[in-house]
Every structure is written in C-alpha cells, then in structure tokens.
Structure 1
Amino acid sequence: MLKDLRPALSLLVVMTGLTGLAYPLGVTGLAQLAFPWQANGSLIEQDGKVVGSALIGQNFTGPGYFWGRPSATTAPDPADPARSVAAPYNAASSGGSNLAPSSRALVESAAEAVARLRAAHPDRSGPVPVELVTASASGLDPDLSPAAALWQVERVARARGVAAEEVRALVLAQVEGRQLGLLGEPRVNLLALNRALDARWPERRP
C-alpha cells in the first residue's frame, strides 16, 4: 500500500509547491515589477491619503458632482444581520440586481430614477441616458459614457457657479479612448472627473 501511496503523495507535494506557492508568488512578483500601481488596486491618493480606486465607483450625490450609475450592491442590516439593506458601491458585495427586463421592480426603480434625474435637470429635454437609471452587473462601475456625463453638465455648472461650456470642456478633456484604439468604448472616470472639478472650481461652502 505504501508503494502506491508514495508517488501520489510525492505528486501532491510537488504540485502544491508549484501551483500553490511558486506560481502565485511568481505572478505576484512579476505584477509588482511590471504593473505596481495596477497590482495594488489602482489606488488614487490625494494629500497623502487614499481617496479611492480608479476601478471602483463611488456614490456621488451632491449637485456639484457628476453622478454615476445606480448601484444594486447591499450590506448586512445593522439591526438584523440576517437581512440585507441597500449599500450603493459596496466593494465588499459586488453584484447586480439580477432583475429581468420584465421585472416590475426594475421598471419601477428605473421610473423613480428618471423622475429624480428630471427633477435635478429641469433644463434637459429628450430621453435620459439609460445607464443613469440602470445598475451595472458589478454595481461598482467607475465610468460613464461621455454622453451620460455631458447630459449632467448644466446642473454641475449651476451648482459650481461657472459657465456650462467650461464644464463641458473639462468633461471632454477627461474622456479616455478605446484601449489600443480597439478595445472597449470611450469613457469618463467619475472619480477623476470629480477630482478635476474640485481642483479647478472648489465647491462653495456656507
């Protein structure tokens, strides 16, 4: 019996060392050498403090900021850990709503989002960009299309007390093109855009 077990145990030890130790350490070391910023979470710092990640969205709600997509992420209810409550952009609980297009809950939540956006943008006509009323699959999408960001320009400009054309130019300057000119779609990172807003036109505090 030992004769049969010895090669199996030897193979287990070797493969554990290769796939469980050597390979992960090698990949981690290579990533730290070649792409240290990305390997450590694409963290963004300001005044020596981490203010977010370029890969994870944040729940901007103030009128002087550009708003991202709705987020369907949740967190345990402090009053009852067995239940969940809405917690937008909770990076510890990535996920979408998983509601079907025929879901009444999805239709109602989209209608409520449209009503909020209409109330906050009385000067806008035409359809509301669909990404501003529907959650992404991860609930953590950090980007918007240029069209969805530009749709919000008048509200942000009014809240900041600056000309809409200046804010529009800032948005266009923040547009990132397709990767390698081929992959993905043009996009605007919301954290980068809102940080640029604060740097150029700090919000007026009472």
Structure 2
Amino acid sequence: MRMSTWIRQHLAALRALLVLTAITGIAYPVAVFVIAQLPGLHDRADGSLITVDGEIVGSSLIGQSFTDKDGNALVQYFQSRPSAAGDGYDPLSAAASNLGPESIVDTLDADPAKVKSSLLSIVCARSKAVGDREGVDGSRPFCTENGVGAVLSVIGPSDVAGDVSHPVQVVSVNEACPAKPFLATYKGLRVDCANPGADYSVGRIVPIIGNISTDTPVPADAVTASGSGLDPHISPQYAAIQVARIAKARNIPQDEVRALVDAHTDGRTLGFLGEPRVNVVELNLDLDKRYPFPG
C-alpha cells in the first residue's frame, strides 16, 4: 500500500511537470514569438534596430557617444547623456557609477592612475565642459571655477556637534598643489591646496555652496548618467542649448534645427508618466540625412 501511494504521488508530480513544461516552456514562448511578429511589434521585438542603406547603425533604445577617438565632442552632433556603462553605452556593462551624494572628496595621488574623482567633481567638470562648448554659464553651486568640487577640510579641535570653532588648518581637498585654492581664506585662516596622497579626513569636510544660482542652464541630464548607462534620450532643455552649435557647424538656420528637435521629442508616456525626452540617436541620424555635415 505504501509503495502504491508513493508511485501515485510521483506519477502525479510527473504529469504536472510535463503539463507545465508544455505550457510555460513551449506554448507560451511560441505564442509570444508569434505575437511579436505582428505588424507594429516586429521592429520592437527585434531590438528597435536602426538601419541606414541596409546597414544596422544602432538601436533607438540604446544611446551612443558622438565623440572623436580622444573623447572630444563632435561639433556637428547633439551630445548624449553621459554613460557609466563600460567605456560608454556598452550593453554588456549596463550599470550606474554607484556614486552617491556623499561622494564629494576626490582621491588625489602623484600617480595619475590612482586619481579618482568624486561624483561632485565629475558633475562640476561635466558642467564646465558643457558650458564652454555650448557658450552658456556652466557654473554650479558647490563647484569651483576650474570644475572640481568646492570642498574644504577644516582641521582643528571640534565640539560635541563636530563643529570646528578654532581651526588650525584649512585645505581645499579637491585642488591638488600647486593649484590656487578657490577660496583665499576661511574663518580667518589661509586656505591651502591639497598635497596628493595626504589624508585630510581628520578635519570636518565642508562643501561650499558659493554664490552661484541653482537655476543653471546646464540641466542635470547633461552631467549625470542614467541608472543603466544606456539611455538614448536627453531632455528638451539639454537639446535646446546645443541648437546654436549644431546650426553653426552645419551652416543651417537655428529654426530648422529646432524644428528637427521638436520632431524627435516624445511627450510624457500616457500623458503623465516621466518627462518629455529627445532621442539623440534618431535625431543625429536625421540631421545627417537632411543636412549633411560638410566636413
């Protein structure tokens, strides 16, 4: 009797395994594949690939870098959002930088290979570069004029709250010597540049906001990477500050460039999800098609 019950239980389990395998392992995948081949869904199911003259040049779902071999922005193209995926937009290395808001102190070292920028300095450097390239004010709060984080280490005896009322040394921790610190003095003390390799964590780390407006023309998506590092979109605000450069490089009216940007701008999903966005890959391909770069 016990053996009979054991056999019946295992036969029932085997039947369930076979049925579920047929449904989830065969029927469902085949159904999804067939549905994906329907008109209107086929291109998306195949990866939303973009072809030019029969050659695959990218996907509308994955961004690309429009730079030269040295990483310099090509003046004739709209620039994409920064990417932290591998060397940039690598689908096999999709990831964020994993740097958070507390990453404000750079790792300085005499060996350039050991130098590591904080998230704050990365944002400051990108904002300055965008501002210089697009002819707008790229300065941001908590950033120096040279494009690094405006952060001090205030060293001295501290109270129970951690405040240093009588500092004995103040160091601009993100400006390596012999750089001239962004502040001459702080609390009556001269601000020193940082010696590469020195540890200033003994002091109180103080970010300095400065007198720069928070309403910067360089938007956040121009200086920060997306979570995946593959985002092909930028904000209309970032596209807008690039119009003048594109028009000059291609020798066309700015109104025509703006019209093309509008044509490649998608609104909020379902009218209320997310933000309006511009697909840079499709926009640049359309630019090349309509207004070939003379260079």
Classify the TM-score, shorter chain: 0.7 to 0.9
Query: Where does residue 8 of structure 2 map in the other structure?
Result: 3
Distance (whole Å) between structure 1 residues aligned to residue 64 and residue 275 of structure 2: 21
Query: Where does residue 120 of structure 1 map in the other structure?
Result: 133
- The amino acid across from 1:119 in the alignment is D
Q: CA deviation at 1:164?
A: 2.6
Tell me whether 1:149 sits opposite 2:155 in the alignment: no
Aligned counterparts, 1:91-110, within 5 A: 91-104=91-104, 105-110=118-123
Q: CA deviation at 1:161?
A: 2.2
Distance (whole Å) between structure 2 residues aligned to residue 97 and residue 57 of structure 1: 17
Q: CA deviation at 1:12?
A: 1.2
Query: Where does residue 174 of structure 1 map in the other structure?
Result: 264
- The amino acid across from 1:111 in the alignment is C
Q: CA deviation at 1:158?
A: 2.0
Percent sequence identity is 46
> SS at 1:60's partner residue?
coil
The one-character-per-residue Cα deviations of 1:102-156 (angstroms, maximum 9, x if unpaired) are 11321111112112212212x2234311101000011111111111111111221
Distance (whole Å) between structure 1 residues aligned to residue 274 and residue 219 of structure 2: 18
Tell me whether 1:30 sits opposite 2:28 in the alignment: no
Q: Which has the higher helix share?
A: 1
TM-score w.r.t. the length of structure 2 is 0.61
Tell me whether 1:41 sits opposite 2:47 in the alignment: yes
Distance (whole Å) between structure 1 residues aligned to residue 221 and residue 241 of structure 2: 11
Q: CA deviation at 1:25?
A: 1.5
Q: CA deviation at 1:64?
A: 0.7
TM-score w.r.t. the length of structure 1 is 0.86
Distance (whole Å) between structure 2 residues aligned to residue 153 and residue 116 of structure 1: 16
Query: Where does residue 66 of structure 1 map in the other structure?
Result: 78
Distance (whole Å) between structure 2 residues aligned to residue 159 and residue 4 of structure 1: 75
- The amino acid across from 1:169 in the alignment is A
- Indicate which of 131, 134, 141 corresponds to 2:221: 131
The one-character-per-residue Cα deviations of 1:82-120 (angstroms, maximum 9, x if unpaired) are xxxxx1000122121121111132111111211221221
Tell me whether 1:158 sits opposite 2:241 in the alignment: no
Query: Where does residue 19 of structure 2 map in the other structure?
Result: 14
Q: CA deviation at 1:178?
A: 2.8
Rg comparison, structure with higher value: 2
- The amino acid across from 1:7 in the alignment is A
> SS at 1:22's partner residue?
helix
> SS at 2:259's partner residue?
helix
- The amino acid across from 1:70 in the alignment is P
> SS at 1:33's partner residue?
coil
The number of equivalent residue pairs is 192
Distance (whole Å) between structure 2 residues aligned to residue 108 and residue 144 of structure 1: 21
Distance (whole Å) between structure 1 residues aligned to residue 78 and residue 289 of structure 2: 14
Q: Which stretch shows the higher mean deviation, 105-114 or 178-187? A: 178-187
RMSD of equivalent CA atoms: 1.6
Q: Which stretch shows the higher mean deviation, 42-51 or 173-182? A: 173-182
Query: Where does residue 83 of structure 1 map in the other structure?
Result: none
> SS at 2:56's partner residue?
strand
- Indicate which of 39, 50, 56 corresponds to 1:50: 56
Distance (whole Å) between structure 1 residues aligned to residue 34 and residue 290 of structure 2: 38
Distance (whole Å) between structure 2 residues aligned to residue 166 and residue 3 of structure 1: 75
Query: Where does residue 89 of structure 2 map in the other structure?
Result: 89
